[in-house]
């Protein structure tokens, strides 16, 4: 069987605008462009399920820099690059010269002469922006303390697959106003969804990001509600999403957070306010008995493993589009 080189429904002219672009935040793309990436992801996924190779990145190499531990990000990017015909290199930030004080700008310039793209999973978003500023190849944000765009793309793909649409879908996020929430909300309002976010006092999303999201919602036919009331957020929701209460880098706050978030667990009582056909989403890893009850995450409405699989397909679409 010959590998598919060009998708007939995605002419080259459409994809030329993506080549060489960075993915640092989801709102670097318009709602229309995000939908095009999701359509490409779904098509690539269908090809893979049918055993039909799609390998546009033969001879291409992805450098993967990790300062944070990872399961889904590392495996999905490495496997995805291989399935697209290229190869991926795991690079520990501690073992690179970055770990010995080499300027980010120097690393960016050198890596640009070795590989065709860089995926980086790290702490500082400003550091990723500096890497992109000095690199001449696409930079993909695999996670920073502020944003997780690849996760948001997988989330949107999952909801779209199960609900058949995104525009007008009611999405509730309950928990910490963290990097996952930031990217999820930005992607959702760009795609015209009705988003409700419930966080404990003191753990709200960044105010500037909320204002940006409100502007995107207005421009794209979406809605955004920010509240401290989880029931208000979940009422009649088509999808309910949560994340861990203590993200990487905030371990010292764990006991304080357990108390602050106690009333924000996504459990059977809370989801009784959602649509009966609601989807439950979680970016994983999950702590059953903390942010979500076992009955919800392991129940019939949970799509967390479809969501985890879609990291692979969404990221393959990004790689195919920008590299």
Active site residue ranges: 121, 148, 151, 243, 283, 311
Q: Is the Cβ–Cβ distance between 4 and 53 less than 8 Å?
A: yes
C-alpha to C-alpha distances, 79 to 20, 54, 103, 171, 229, nearest whole angstrom? 21, 13, 30, 30, 40
73 is in an annotated binding site: yes
113 is in an annotated binding site: no
311 is in an annotated binding site: yes
121 is in an annotated binding site: yes
Adjacency order of strands within the sheet including 223-227: 223-227, 194-198, 170-174, 239-242, 279-282
d(CA 105, CA 96): 14
148 is in an annotated binding site: yes
Q: Which of 224, 318, 313, 316 is nearest to 28 (CA)?
A: 318
72 is in an annotated binding site: yes
201 is in an annotated binding site: no
Q: Is the Cβ–Cβ distance between 279 and 255 less than 8 Å?
A: no
248 is in an annotated binding site: yes
71 is in an annotated binding site: yes
283 is in an annotated binding site: yes
d(CA 311, CA 57): 18
230 is in an annotated binding site: no
Give DSSP secondary structure letters for 103-169. -HHHHHHHHTTT-SEEEEE-S-HHHHHHHHHH-SS-EEEEE-SS--HHHHHHHHHHHHHHHS--TT-
Calculate Rg over the CA atoms of the chain: 19
- Cis preceding-peptide flag for 13 (omega within 30 of 0): no
151 is in an annotated binding site: yes
83 is in an annotated binding site: no
Residues placed in the known binding site for carbamoyl phosphate: 70-73, 97, 121, 148-151, 283-284, 311
Tell me the binding residues for L-ornithine. Answer: 179, 243, 247-248
């Amino acid at each position: 069987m010959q590998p598919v080189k060009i998708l007939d429904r995605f002419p080259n002219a459409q994809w030329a605008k993506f080549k060489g672009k960075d993915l640092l935040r989801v709102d670097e793309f318009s709602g229309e462009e995000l939908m095009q990436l999701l359509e490409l992801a779904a098509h690539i996924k269908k090809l893979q399920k049918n055993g039909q190779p799609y390998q546009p990145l033969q001879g291409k190499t992805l450098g993967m820099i990790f300062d944070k531990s990872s399961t889904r990000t590392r495996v999905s990017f490495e496997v995805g690059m291989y399935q697209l015909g290229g190869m991926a290199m795991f690079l520990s930030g501690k073992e690179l010269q970055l770990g010995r004080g080499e300027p980010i700008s120097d690393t960016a310039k050198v890596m640009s002469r070795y590989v065709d793209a860089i995926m980086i999973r790290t702490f500082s978003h400003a550091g990723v922006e500096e890497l992109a500023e000095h690199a001449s190849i696409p930079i993909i944000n695999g996670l920073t303390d502020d944003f997780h765009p690849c996760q948001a793309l997988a989330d949107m793909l999952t909801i779209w697959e199960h609900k058949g649409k995104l525009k007008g879908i009611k999405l509730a996020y309950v928990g910490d106003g963290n990097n996952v929430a930031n990217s999820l909300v930005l992607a959702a309002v760009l795609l015209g969804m009705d988003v409700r976010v419930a966080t404990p006092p003191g753990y709200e999303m960044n105010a500037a990001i909320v204002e940006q999201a409100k502007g995107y919602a207005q421009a794209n036919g979406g809605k955004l509600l920010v509240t401290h009331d989880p029931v208000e957020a979940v009422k009649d929701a088509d999808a309910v999403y949560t994340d861990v209460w203590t993200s990487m880098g905030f371990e010292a706050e764990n006991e304080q957070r357990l108390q602050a978030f106690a009333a924000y667990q996504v459990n059977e009582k809370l989801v009784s306010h959602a649509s009966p056909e609601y989807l439950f989403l979680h970016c994983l890893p999950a702590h059953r008995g903390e942010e979500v009850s076992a009955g919800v995450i392991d129940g019939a409405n949970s799509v967390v493993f479809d969501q985890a699989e879609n990291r692979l397909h969404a990221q393959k679409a990004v790689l195919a589009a920008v590299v």
